[in-house]
A = this chain, B = another copy of it.
Amino acid sequence: MTDLMVQERQVEILRRLRQDGRVVAATLASLFGVSEDTIRRDLRDMATAGLCERVYGGALAIGPGRTTLKHRIGVAAERKKALAVAAVSLVPAQCLVYFDAGSTNLAIAEALPEDLAVAAATNSPAIALALQEKPLAEVILIGGSLDRVAGGSVGARAIEAMAQIRPDLCFIGTCGIDPDGALSAFGLEDAAFKQFVAARSRKVAVAATREKFEVSAPYAVAAADQYHCLLTEPDVDPVRLRPVRDAGCEIILAGM
């Protein structure tokens, strides 16, 4: 195989992970013509970024399996919770708020105060379940084809349903944040749906843990000037936040 740059190699590994659900370190090493050490480093980085699950001998895709999902929720749980607590303060009473699928937004939905009366829409079954626990929330479920990777409805039906509502505020999930502040996603349909939601919402907020800055996903979701508020962690490199702030986006730092 032709020599690839680091990012290219990692994207290719990710592709194979999605295709086969697993990769073997030794195989990848000979495939890319690099040492196993390098592959191990790739896999380690990708695992800390939450892109795969590291196992002895290689790595596994983060599948729909609840063990890995719980794992994904569990790893950065406290940090996500801290983000979530800050995020809910953005939600005014009596508004229509939309939660995009994703573990970070699930944390936000869980952190919603019990005594807050809002209409809450989501395309994620998991988030819908969490919202059901909030007695004063009117829950609106956005239907469509369920995307296993994204964890929520996407596609034509979802967009159709989404077209019926206009959220005052939406929390968009993102798989990666580019150096210029642009958001990206791993699925074509997922990205398209996020775009549509963002375009319909009066205010667009993005909550992202620090790992998101290390990841670049293939499909564009929104440039820095297309969302209004970024919640992230205090220890993110300020250089990465500069373009976002320059685009007129409010930046909220939360966490320990």
Contacts and interface: CB of A to CB of B under 8 A. Distances in A.
A59 to B, nearest CB: 9
A243 interface: no
Interface stretch (A78-86, A124-132, A170-178, A245-253): A124-132
A37 to B, nearest CB: 17
Nearest to A146: B139
A125 B124 CA distance: 8
A147 to B, nearest CB: 9
A104 to B, nearest CB: 18
Please classify how large the interface on chain A is, using the bins under 10, 10 to 19, 20 to 34, 35 or more: 35 or more
A143 interface: yes
B141 A56 contact: no
Contacts of A24: 5
A153 interface: yes
A129 B148 CA distance: 10
A219 to B, nearest CB: 21
Nearest to A63: B135
Contact of A143 (B64, B66, B153): B153
B11 A65 contact: yes
A144 interface: yes
A140 B139 contact: no
A145 B139 contact: yes
Given A129-B129, A145-B140, A58 B5 contact: yes
B132 A5 contact: no
A140 B140 contact: no
4 tightest Cβ-Cβ pairs between the two chains A and B = A143-B143, A139-B146, A125-B125, A125-B128
